[in-house]
């Protein structure tokens, strides 16, 4: 199996970093836009879509800045997905960077999925 390729996406979000962080770092926040339901027990998050469960470990987090998860089925320690909040120093625009990994022939599909997920997040935040 070939190694997955890293890709990054940037989304401008009209919300404070503190509010946005609650939606990317907590089970209740993630269940509002990322999955049908999310359960968390310590660093272990269970994401549920259409009755299917996927587990991920919260690897790192920094308040109001980023969270990094790794899927339990991931074959490589270097594969993760990260949601990073960046505030432009001059304009004060808030961006959410998505860093993820996918097979080369699945990158476009993964990007479309993230586009849809972030659209849901913007809708929940009233940032449309």
List of domains in the chain? 5-125 (3.30.530.20)
**pLDDT of 36-51, one tens digit each?**
999 999 999 999 999 9
Contact 95, 10 (CB under 8 A): yes
* pLDDT tens per residue, range 66-102: 999 999 987 777 889 999 999 999 999 999 999 999 9
CA 121 to chain CA mean position, Å: 10
Q: In the structure, what pLDDT confidence band is assigned to residue 128 with cuts at 50, 70 and 90?
A: confident
Unique residue bearing structure tokens 């997040």: 121
What is the Cα–Cα distance from 59 to 35, expressed in whole angstroms? 19
pLDDT of residue 2: 59
Tell me what pLDDT residue 77 has. Answer: 74
């Amino acid at each position: 199996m070939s190694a997955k390729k890293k890709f990054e996406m940037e989304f401008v979000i009209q919300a404070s970093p503190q509010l946005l962080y609650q939606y990317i770092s907590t089970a209740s926040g993630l269940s509002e836009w990322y999955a049908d339901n999310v359960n968390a027990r310590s660093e272990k998050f269970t994401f549920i879509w259409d009755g299917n469960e996927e587990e991920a470990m919260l690897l790192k987090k920094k308040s109001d800045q980023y969270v990094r998860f790794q899927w339990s089925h991931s074959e490589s320690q270097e594969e993760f997905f990260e949601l990073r909040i960046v505030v432009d120093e001059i304009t004060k625009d808030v961006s959410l960077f998505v860093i993820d990994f996918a097979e080369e022939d699945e990158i476009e599909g993964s990007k479309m999925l993230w586009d849809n997920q972030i659209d849901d997040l913007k809708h929940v935040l009233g940032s449309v």
